[in-house]
Every structure is written in C-alpha cells, then in structure tokens.
Amino acid sequence: MWCAFFLCHRSVYVCMNSILLTFLKQKTILMKMPLLFTLPLCLGLTFSSQLFSGEEEIPQYVSENGMVDKGTYNGYRRFHGTCHACHGQDAAGSSFAPSLVDALKDMDYAAFTKTVTEGRQATSASGAVSAMPAFAADPNVMKHLDDIYRYLSARSDGVVGTGRPKKIPKKK
C-alpha cells in the first residue's frame, strides 16, 4: 500500500510542478500562486484525471500502522449502512449472503462494480434462489462505491480487521 500512497504523492508532485512550470513560462502573475493553492487544485486534477482516463483506475486503500485513509474509513461506514444487512457485520457473510472478505479475493474491481450496479441472481444446487439487488439508483451506495471497495479490499487483504478501523490522523 505504500506504493499507492507514493503514486498518489508522485502524481500530485508532478502536477504541482507542471502548473508551476506553466505559470513560469507564461510569466503571469499567477506564477506567484502560493503552494497552498496549487495543492488542492492538483489533488482535484489528479482525481478527475482518474475519472476521465480511458483505463479504469482501481481505488486503493492506504494503511499506516493499522490505521486507514479517510476513504477506506468511509467505506466501513457506508458498508455498514446498507450492505451489511445481507453481507453481515465486517463483511463476514450471513446465513444467506456470502462473505465478501472471501469473495473479494477472486473478484476484481470491474466485476465488483458490475455486481453492485446491476445486481445478480443465482440458484443453488438445492434450488434456493439468492438475489443481490441492483444499486444503480441508490446514491447512498453509488456515491461511495470506491470507498466501499477500498474497505472491502482492505478486509480481504487482511489489512483491516473486524470492527471500526482507525483513521490516519490529518497531517499538519
């Protein structure tokens, strides 16, 4: 996960540099834009570049000393606001829906988003029908889909245990 952390930092760094360079070239007053301004701008650009890039960026969790990033933490909350009703506390599964700690080991991000968005139905050998609803119309899930994925992949990788994870404190 350090690599993800590093990648993010790296892209922000590259972005900030490129903005500063652009400003320098154009010799506008903006070249004096304080670092403080460019940082959030770059974070925004990095985020949107992920949205608009042709290939899908896979959301990554960040873990430091057993603590997790804000997104993963939010994923924990949102998972336990909706998904846990079937998939159980800590995504450990229930008497009628599978453990996602196990499922995420074999399911990639694309398959995850497809399943959550479109839902799916299955009939077991015993004839029992199980059904996962389509959440495409549910903003409480769709707006937080990547965070839920972050949380579940962290659970699946054994990086986040049971219960509420701790958030990495804000850096000063």
Based on the shown chain and the rule CB under 8 A, indicate whether residue 64 belongs to the binding site for other proteins: no
Of these, 14, 24, 39, 131, which contacts other proteins (CB under 8 A)?
131
Rounded distance between C-alpha atoms, residue 100 and residue 93, angstroms:
7
What would the x/- binding string for other proteins be over residues 140 to 169, using CB under 8 A? xx-----------------xxxxxxxx---
Looking at the Cβ atoms of 42 and 154, the one nearer to other proteins is 154
Are the CB atoms for 75 and 165 separated by under 8 Å?
no
Rounded distance between C-alpha atoms, residue 153 and residue 133, angstroms:
21
Q: Which of residues 40-59 bind other proteins (CB under 8 A)?
A: none
Of these, 65, 106, 125, 171, which contacts other proteins (CB under 8 A)?
65
Based on the shown chain and the rule CB under 8 A, indicate whether residue 102 belongs to the binding site for other proteins: no
DSSP-derived letter for residue 10 is H
Are the CB atoms for 153 and 104 separated by under 8 Å?
yes
Rounded distance between C-alpha atoms, residue 135 and residue 63, angstroms:
28
Place of tokens 């299955």: 122
List interacting residues with other proteins (CB under 8 A). Answer: 65-67, 76-82, 84-86, 88-90, 92-96, 99, 119, 121, 126-133, 135, 137-141, 159-166
